[in-house]
Structure 1
Amino acid sequence: MTIRHLDALFNPKAVAVIGASTRPGSVGRMVMRNLLDGGFAGPIMPVNPRYNSVEGVLAYRAIADLPVTPDLALICTPPEQVPEMVAQLGKRGARVAVLIGAGLGRTYTSGGASLAQAAVDAARPSGLRLLGPNTLGLVVPRVGLNASFAPARVPKGRIAFLTQSGAIGTAVMDHAVAQGVGFSAMVSLGDCRDIDFADVIDYLAGDPSTRAILLYIEAVGGARRFLSAVRAAARNKPVLAIKSGRGPDAARAAATHSGALMGEDAVYDAALRRAGILRVGEIDELFDAVETLARLQPPRGDRLAILSNGGGPGVMAVDSLIAGGGRLADLAPETVARLDGVLPGVWSGGNPVDIGGDSGTERYAEALDILLEDKGCDAVLVLHAPTAVTDGAEVARIVAKAAERTRRPLLTSWLGGPGAAPARRILNDAGIATYDTPNNAVRGFMHRVGYRRIQDMLMQTPPSVPETFTPDIPAAKAVIAGARTEGRTRLTEIEAGRILGAYGITTIETRFARDAEEAVTAAGALGFPAVVKIASPSIEHKSAVAGVALDLENADEVRRSIATLTERMARRAPDAVLDGFLVQRMIRRPRAHELLVAVVHDPVFGPVIAFGQGGTAVELIEDRALALPPLNTVLAREMMGRTRVHKLLQGYRDRPAADLDELSGLLIRISQMVVDLPDMRSLDINPLVADENGVLVIDAHVEVFEDNRTRGPLAIRPYPLDLVETVTLADGRRAVLRPIRPEDEPGHQDFVRHLTPEDIRYRFFGVVREFSHTEMARFTQIDYDREMAFIARARFDGGDIPETRPGRLPDETGAETLGVVRVVFDPDGVDAEFAVVVRSDLKGRGLGIRLMNKVIAYCRSRGIHRIVGQVLRDNRPMRKLMVTLGFTVRESLEDDVVEVVLDLVPPAPPPRPAPAAAKPG
């Protein structure tokens, strides 16, 4: 995560073209021409020893001969020259080099390293940043920079486009020019050997000239950095993506093209959703979605009302709506009655509202006003097919006037060719989303619905009483260690049950039997009716070999089942090893649902949790949803809601609803298991039975990694439980100091209410009466990889918070928030900006110092160099505290603000003088 030197990429002062050429068709010539045609105002300096000038511009023989140090250098030389050119640019002081062209990753040095890696190694000593290789270059129209060999000239705009494919980049630019779409930047990332998605997204997130960020993704490297960057950006501006490689064959092709590992497409889908990205399928859809997000107000839900002057367009819209997962709004009886009063008797009588092909502007206006007042409609789509009766442009003016009177989302589709163009211009000028076809209009509506849902997920607050449990982590790790000692990576079902039991997950009691008599004894102890299963490390799915016997009522039936299972396995799987048999009591829950919960290890995003319908036909049903850990109640419920079986779990007819609270709690426990047990490679629970009486694991399998080597981190950093501690305040009260959690939002609102107006002014540099949910969610739902907020909580009712157990949250029943310190790291990981505030009625008890010392220690552990803060000049207590803690107070550019700075990395000592030369003799 670094934006170091990226200002030189997007706003360079001088540009050099290494390998500039006059040879027709060469990359060096095209790049020079594009730079000159783009209107870049700074020096453009071609470097090539074979030319005196290139495109009429004086050329230089070598990088060392350049009269000005270039911020940005474009390297267009043959691949074997690139590492040396990178080294020379670094020595000269250039800040970014663009490695235009392909072949560096497939050409090798005499030492066996690729030329791409050699270029990275050459850049490292100087800190020179590299874009590419295998890149088209970049275009920044705002500064007249076309540092690419793209054929199209891109207009200015407020959309940034990042692509891993140069071919897609040129196609998008051609499409944009044809559609009149402008860009704030277009960056071809290429192979991402240095500068990657995360770096550029971090930069663009703070770029005021960029309104939306579009991505074309083939593969992601550094999943945590990528997701952290996107999640931060998506809170402030739309981020949309096309992800190629949806099918297995396409995924293999993408991996070959980009030289990166591909994760399963469903995992990418889950990761993009978790990051707040709206995923679309094609280029046209990408730009349509941007316009939709810019023009269409966020609807409250997915209920759409459709107004049309023809039945056919309305039916097309309904088909697209249902296929896309939306709902046709049910018109209120009073709405239908009002429409009856203004429409002819032959109108459709419901939604879609077909007002007839002979409709004039007055009929459109009256019907539209009525629909916009129906509270059961989340948005209204107006369709118009050309007729000889009505001027489409006049109807468009009616719609534009109606849009001025309502805040309800309104979108339109005017069918036809050139004849519909004037109406579309009127609607566009009025800022109303308009589309060529009803299908595109509905797709735009569902984009807005989907984006609203994604944004809501970024901001939803879990219940204030979270899922709390105390797993026996040592016991779970001991099971894994025991299997490893025996050289096994696949745990037995009994071992898997012990791990689940360590996390409070109820499993059916299982006993192992080596032969029929041991099975009879086990069944008698557990109780009849019994179940007997084969126990074989060679058989993954027992049902594949009919290796399960159910409803065994007595000892004789158990003995017969053992004989049958042994014979059956010898016949169907003669090479499999039969260790023995597993015996369980038969569970009869006839109205329970069979579910699947699994953990898979994706090569890109690490552990991923799956949930869906289970049973023996799970592969055929393919009803599952995926999510990245860690999970909380909101995220667990959202994942469940993306499956078809979720509707059944809510109950229907005489079948009561399953215990969804217990089910979401199980998913949270599985999520915590993933966090605590990095050696667990996979988990498969199938079936998990769920009904109104709760959930029960019937069958579970666990695999672990082969050795104890450290695994890659989770794609999203989990809650840092190791930073939780209890302390004793000056008044003797015990308080807990811990990182903030999303569940803290209600308590945080109450904390702000306890601040005096003066303290609010000191903290927020202004008067704030109340924070909205969205604003408060930004304070409590943080990315622990990029920022940290420590809160102090204690009880005021005479009780006390118990001592914190290592790695666990304490019981905070009745506790209130006393103070908070917050620190945000810059993208380069060098500086951190802090803010601290203590409840106004609790000052003078040493809490501020405790909070500051905790955050200072944390910043040191993260390798931060400086902690910086802004303090109002008249906030004398805070200035005094900062001096006590070792901060330096500096003047600021603002008259009423001072800056306080704490250097955590001591300055390097001055060089020691060389020892005097020894005197001869």
Structure 2
Amino acid sequence: MHSDAPLKALFEPRSVVVVGASRHPGKVGHTVLSNLVSSGYTGKILPVNPAGGDLLGLPVLRDVSELPDGPDLAVICLPREKVRPVLEALAAKSLRAAIVLAAGFKETGKDGWRLEEELARIARRRGIVLLGPNSLGLMNAPFGLNASFARACPASGNIAFFSQSGALCAAILDWAVSEDMGFSKFVSLGNKAVLSEAHMLEALGDDPDTRVILGYCESVDNGQELLSAAQRVTAKKPVVMIKAGATPAGARAASNHTGSLAGSPPAYEAAFRQAGILHAPDVESLFDLAGAFSSQPLPKGPNLVVVTNSGGPGILTADACENSRLQLMRPGAATLERLRTVLPSFASLYNPIDIIGDADAARYRATLEAVLADEMAHAVLVLLTPTSAAQIEETARAVVEASKDCGKPVFACFMGGPRVAPGRDILVEAGVPCYAFPESAVRAMEAMYAYHSWRSRAYPVEICFRRDKGKAESLLREARATGLADLSESQAMQLALAYELPVPETKFARTSDEAARIAKRIGFPVALKIASPHLVSKAAAGGVALGLSDAEAVRRAFLELTSRLARTREDVHVTGCMVQAMGPADARAVAVWMRRDQQFGPLLSFGLAGAYTDVLHDLTFRLAPLTVGDAQEMVREIKTFPLLRGVRGQKPAALGAIEDILLTVSQIAVDFPEIAEVELNPILVNEEGAVVADVKIAIA
């Protein structure tokens, strides 16, 4: 960590105060002190306990007031009620950083929330870096610091991990010791009264001991802060995170656990994607990816070569590749010629390369050397099943030797149990990730390729569209003055015009004759829509008539729509009808929504209108502000995109027109934080352009 790093006092303290140090093994205060002493920490350790005396060979201070001025770090091992006065006393001693281990704060309700807010206010006012409360503590292995009450202490490594859950930290530490996995930094964030995921990302992004950053989160208090920090950090090193609380049951559990809102899964999905964070679906995947990123170079492309001594695992790998961004490349002519000289005539030379069940270590090594020399091979996966002829340990050593300094990621999958275990140990110790099954290996390689693509992407282009912001502000003031949460259809259409959205000509009519006159001016055919502030969906309420081709049809439709609503919906006040030019007849209907997420701000979604969204939930999401690339990806990500591209002789839709609408809605969301929701549904699009047929805007 750099000497001027904001969190240096937390991670590399010159002195550590243990408030509540205990003589009783098993107590938190004893475990923290014991961990500090046994971890090799070379700074000054200052235990504090009212009984005084000596503890683990260290003199014990009776009170915080006896401390010298300017301690770097204090670990407070006291019950909830005693934390606040002790933190005040430490602040008076010019403390730089503190870890609060006690639980019972905002996760327990209103009283705990107030206590936590008081701690945060003290820390911010006095410039104290505060970790917790409800924290397990932290470790900085290269520095020899274990300021936690965890029982397990893993080896030093190049993986950093932070977690909102202390219990998960304890479990992972115990597991890591059994797997011989090392960490550079290990941090339990707890309730995040001051320090959050964003602060950890910033600190670990600049940490020379850390090669890959892992995180577990249940909630994010400031989504934009996380997004901004992650975008800076992922440009330098990979960040892999798991988000808990993605289901309603999980969200409730997360709220009970830390007292925070879990947030919407689509918003997190969009945030992770736009920040370059790799999303792990489960803890096993999180550490599968950690092993890959911590030991292997990034692949420079999607081409994977599979070397196997068994056809079945090779087929499984091919299936996994087909469902990923990777592809099984055909070896080049020179590679094939070289393989023919080292493999039996009945071996399969085409990817997956099946070197037959009687393959020994020498055959594996010769095959690996041939494929690694192929310039088009970006990554190699070595599969081994424990056949009677398999030389497991020798093959593992051959893989290590062949892959050394090759500049390409090499992964292994030794399938089996006790027989292959020694080979796996050799590979992992040498830094070659070894997986139990090929699907896990493919997922890890795909994640590495995705991160390489993120690092290699073109610089994002943001566009600011022309708009009459003053007119839009006037419309919003007018809407707020009415006291209604929704803009009228006329106001919404005018705001859309102020941002040059392609809305059809639309006029309000109070009577059937006025509607007929307006229709003549607009030009037939037209559509009629009920005007009412109480209808969310006019079509669902039977309040829309389409394709009206003459004045008489307009009059008749006006009377039918208004009288029907008067009969069937007494709760709806009808003011008249909107007369609107019809969209193109051969158009496909899409929709764009914007809703403001509590954690991350404006969240845009896109999909085909109607059943595709309502029933199939075929939607894609991004956070504003959108870049041009974001808009392009959104349009192409939906499963029903082939319908926009054109099927059965249909011409492709004007994708650029849809992208322009997405970018414009993004600009509206950024310009006006008071706009809570925008819905453009339907947007009618054909090969020539797009028309926004209906606009709904809600204000906070």
Matches within 5 A, 1:177-216: 177-216=177-216
| Partner Cα distance (1:143, 1:704) in 2 | 52
User: 1:514 aligned to 510, 515, 520, which one?
Assistant: 510
Aligned partner of 1:326 in structure 2 is: 325
Distance 1:100 1:468, change over 3 A: closer
Higher relative contact order (CA closer than 8 Å, sequence separation 6+): 2
After superposition, what is the alpha-carbon deviation per residue over 1:98-144, rounded to whole angstroms, capped at 9, x for unaligned?
1111113378999x982222333444553333221111111222233
Distance in structure 2 (CA, Å) of the matches to 1:297 and 1:400: 14
* Structure 2 counterpart SS, 1:478: helix
CA distance in 2, matches of 1:645, 1:568: 36
For residue 537 of structure 1, what is the aligned residue in structure 2?
A: 533
Alignment of 1:88-167 (within 5 A): 88-105=89-106, 114-167=114-167
- Residue in structure 2 matched with residue 612 of structure 1 by the alignment: 607
Relative to 1, partners in 2 of residues 1:431 and 1:187: Cα closer, same or farther, differing over 3 Å? Answer: closer
Give the superposition deviation at 1:616: 4.5
The alpha carbon displacement at 1:4 in A equals 7.5
| Larger CA deviation: 485-494 vs 61-70 | 61-70
Give unmatched runs, 5+ long, in structure 1.
Answer: 706-921
Q: Secondary structure at the match of 2:540?
A: helix
| Closer, same or farther: CA 424–549 of 1 in aligned 2, 3 Å | same
TM-score (norm 2): 0.90
User: Matched residues in 2 for 1:655 and 1:99: separation?
Assistant: 64
Displacement after TM superposition at 1:353 (Å): 4.1
Which of residues 653, 657, 660 is equivalent to 1:658? Answer: 653
Give how far 1:269 is off: 1.5
1:557 counterpart residue number: 553
Deviations 1:509-566 (A, max 9, x none): 2222234333333333322222222222222123322332223333343344334434
**CA–CA distance in 1 between the matches of 2:95 and 2:602?**
40
2:602–2:669 Cα contact (<8 Å) kept: yes
Cα distance in 2, alignment partners of residues 682 and 671 from structure 1: 12
The correspondence of residues 510-909 of structure 1 with structure 2, limited to 5 A, is: 510-566=506-562, 568-570=564-566, 573-590=569-586, 592-652=587-647, 654-705=649-700
CA distance in 1, matches of 2:619, 2:655: 16
Work out whether residues 137 and 148 of structure 1, in 8 Å CA contact, stay in contact via their aligned partners in 2: yes
**C-alpha distance in 1 between matches for 2:32 and 2:370:** 58
Match of 1:36 in 2: 37
Are the aligned partners of 1:277 and 1:454 in contact in 2 as well (CA < 8 Å)?
no
- 1: distance between equivalents of 2:532 and 2:427? 68
Aligned counterparts, 1:153-552, within 5 A: 153-323=153-323, 325-329=324-328, 331=330, 351-360=351-360, 364=364, 378-400=378-400, 402-403=402-403, 407-428=407-428, 431-457=431-457, 460-462=458-460, 467=463, 469-552=465-548
Q: 1:378 to 1:619 in 2, by over 3 A?
A: farther
Q: Quote the offset at 1:208 in angstroms.
A: 1.6
Is the 1:303–1:326 Cα contact (8 Å) retained in structure 2? no
Give the direction of change, closer, same or farther, for the CA distance of 1:340–1:206 in structure 2 (3 Å limit).
closer
Q: What is the Cα-based RMSD across aligned positions, in Å?
A: 3.2
* 8 Å Cα contact 1:15/1:45 also seen in 2: yes
SS in 2 for 1:294: helix
Could you tell me which amino acid in structure 1 is paired with residue 634 of structure 2?
M
Check whether the contact 2:612–2:618 (CA below 8 A) recurs between aligned residues: no
Distance 1:577 1:315, change over 3 A: farther
Measured at CA, do residues 401 and 149 of structure 1 come closer, stay the same or move farther in structure 2, by a change above 3 Å? Answer: closer
Percent identity reads 37
1:338-367 deviation digits (Å, cap 9, x = unpaired): 699677786668544444434455665666
Structure 1 residue identity aligned to 2:543: G
> Which runs of 5 or more residues in structure 2 are unaligned?
none
The CA distance in 1 between the partners of 2:153 and 2:489, in whole Å, is 63
Residue 60 of structure 1 corresponds to: 61
CA distance in 2, matches of 1:295, 1:28: 36
Specify whether residues 358 and 4 from structure 1 end up closer, same or farther in structure 2 by C-alpha distance, changes over 3 A only: closer
Look up the equivalent residue of 1:494 and give its one-letter code. Answer: S
- Cα separation, 1, equivalents of 2:263 and 2:650: 39
Tell me, in whole angstroms, the C-alpha distance in 1 between the residues paired with 2:226 and 2:656: 32
One-letter identity of the residue aligned with 2:575: D
Q: Distance in 2 between matches of 1:230 and 1:504?
A: 34
Deviations along 1:179-233, one digit per CA (max 9) or x if unpaired, are: 1111222111111112222333322222222222211111112333322222222
Q: 1:124 to 1:405 in 2, by over 3 A?
A: closer
Deviations, residues 817-875 of structure 1 (Å, cap 9, x unaligned): xxxxxxxxxxxxxxxxxxxxxxxxxxxxxxxxxxxxxxxxxxxxxxxxxxxxxxxxxxx
Q: How far does the alpha carbon of each residue in 1:237-295 deviate from its partner, in whole angstroms, 9 at most, with x for none? A: 22221111111221232123222233211101211222221111222222221221234
CA distance in 2, matches of 1:109, 1:84: 20
Q: Deviations over 1:359-384 (max 9, x none)?
A: 45566566656655777765332322
CA distance in 1, matches of 2:335, 2:154: 50
**Aligned twin of 1:82:** 83
Q: Paired residue for 2:49?
A: 48
Structure 2 letter corresponding to 1:579: T
What is the letter of the counterpart of residue 315 of structure 1? I
Relative distance call for 1:183 and 1:558 in structure 2 (3 A) is: same
Q: Return closer, same or farther for 1:37/1:396 CA change in 2, 3 Å cut-off.
A: closer
Contact between 2:654 and 2:686, CA under 8 Å: does it hold in 1?
yes
Secondary structure, aligned partner of 1:40: coil
> Which range moved further: 371-380 or 278-287?
371-380
Q: How far apart are 1:617 and its partner, in Å?
A: 4.1
Q: CA deviation at 1:601?
A: 0.2
CA displacement at 1:438 relative to structure 2:
0.7
For 2:113 and 2:428, the matched residues in 1 are separated by 54
Cα 1:409–1:129 change in 2 (3 A) is: closer
Amino acid at match of 1:57: L
**Matches of 1:138 and 1:413, distance apart in 2:** 33
Equivalent residue pairs, number: 697
